[in-house]
Each structure stands twice: as C-alpha cells, then as structure tokens.
Amino acid sequence: MPPSADHPTDLPPSDVPQKFRRREDLVAMLGSRICHDIISPVSAIGNGVELLAMGGKVDGPEMDLIVESVNNAKARVRFFRVAFGLASDGAQLGEREIRSIIEDMTRGGRTRIEWQLHGDRPRGDVKLVFLALQCLETAMPYGGTVEVTGDDTGWQVSGTADKMKTDAALFGLLTDGDPNHAITAAQVQFALLPIEAARQDRQVSVEIAPTRIDIRF
C-alpha cells in the first residue's frame, strides 16, 4: 500500500510525523483520558454517599467502609492523573492542590510525605516527583518518611525507613539499567520516570543506603 495521509505509519521512520513517534506522549494521554473518565463517576458516587449519610438513611460500619473506599479511589485517581497523565509545557499545579492530593493519598497510611516547598510548581516537575514517590513506595512497605525538596536547579525525593526492601535492579532502571529488564504492572513507574525525565532534558540519579534512598533529577 503506498504511503498516504490516511496511513502515516506506512511512511519511512524519518518521515513519520512527530506525534506518531512520541509514544510516551500517547501513553500519557491514555492515562489522562482514563483518569478523566473515571473521576466523574467516582465523585458522583461520593456525593451520593454523602447525601445518604446526611439524610440518615444509612449508618454503621457498612457506610463507613463505602465512604473510606470512595475517598481512597478519588485520592488515587487524582494522584494517577498527575503521575501518569500528560504534563503540557507551561502547565502549573497549585501548592494547595499538590498538598491536598498528597494528604488524601497518605491518610490512614504508614508513610508520611513532607512537601517542603511553597508556591505553584510546573506540572511536569510534580509528575516526576509523583513517579519517584511511587518508586520509593515499593521500597518502604512498612512505612516511613519521604521528604520532597527542590528549586530551579533540581529536585530531591528522599525516603527514610527503619526497614527497607530495596530491589537494586529496579532502581537501576532509573539511571543506566537494562531497558529490557522485566517489570510488572505495579513497577511501571520505574520505566516511566526516566522516560519523562529524558523528555524534560533531566538526568535521574539514585543513592541507596540501608535506611535511606535519594532520587534526584
């Protein structure tokens, strides 16, 4: 079949439009679409549960479980929308929204995240931070403390815990690890973080100690 406007992928690689070659952008757009479509019905369920509770129609442990589950789902969708969604150049996230997402994600958990910055931040920077937080989460199954610091020259996300469960091969993927190293769906952040960092012309570095992991970019 000859190349045509209807079949751009039939063109030689050098002539394929940029939008068809940037697969990482397509993945991010997919993440944004999924989160966008899910957050509305989840929020509607939450609103319905609140109305039932206000009307006193349902009460007890069953209602508590539903409320907790809905709130957890909403928090995760908001977090995933930033971590896996598209970060357009110039887009900003407000400090209040960032702190709200982190607070909702960690409520009731064993890990405390300390966001030690003030003011709005580029959405692309926050996306990198959220991916790094997910990487650290895999090494801190028993909880701990994560500190996020940064300025115009770079960011540092540091996790500290009495007991770490570190997979050196996985964290090696963030720097110069084997790109063919097998990962699971729960580990996709280790592949996405260096891809997004490269898109932003940043270099990821990692330092691992027995009770601390530092991720910089």
Specify the residue for token string 């110069």.
176
Answer yes or no: is 93 within a domain: no
Answer yes or no: is 95 within a domain: no
Residues 5 and 55 in one domain: yes
- Contact present, 128 and 217 (Cβ < 8 Å): yes
Q: What is the torsional sign of CA 178, 124, 130, 148?
A: positive
Token pair belonging to 194: 């260096």
Answer yes or no: is 186 within a domain: yes
Tell me the residue range of the domain where 81 lies. Answer: 1-86
pLDDT over 60 at 17, yes or no: no
pLDDT over 50 at 79, yes or no: yes
Neighbours of 170 (CB within 10 A): 19
Lowest-confidence segment of 27-36, 61-70, 109-118 by average pLDDT: 27-36
pLDDT confidence of residue 157: 98
pLDDT confidence of residue 36: 67
Q: What is the pTM of this model?
A: 0.79
Query: What is the CATH number for 191?
Result: 3.30.565.10
Determine the number of helices (DSSP H) and then strands (DSSP E) in the chain: 7, 7
65: CB partners within 8 A, 6+ apart: none
Provide the number of structural domains found in the chain: 2
Higher pLDDT, 68 or 177: 68
At 207, phi and psi to the nearest 5? -125, 125
Of 86, 120, 154, which closes a domain?
Answer: 86
pLDDT confidence of residue 46: 74
Residues 206 and 114 in one domain: yes
pLDDT over 70 at 65, yes or no: yes
| 165-209 confidence digits (pLDDT tens) | 999 999 999 998 676 788 898 999 999 999 899 989 999 999 999
pLDDT confidence of residue 50: 75
Residues 122 and 18 in one domain: no
Mean pLDDT confidence for 95-111: 93
pLDDT confidence of residue 22: 57
pLDDT over 70 at 112, yes or no: yes
Mean pLDDT confidence for 118-147: 96
Answer yes or no: is 97 within a domain: no
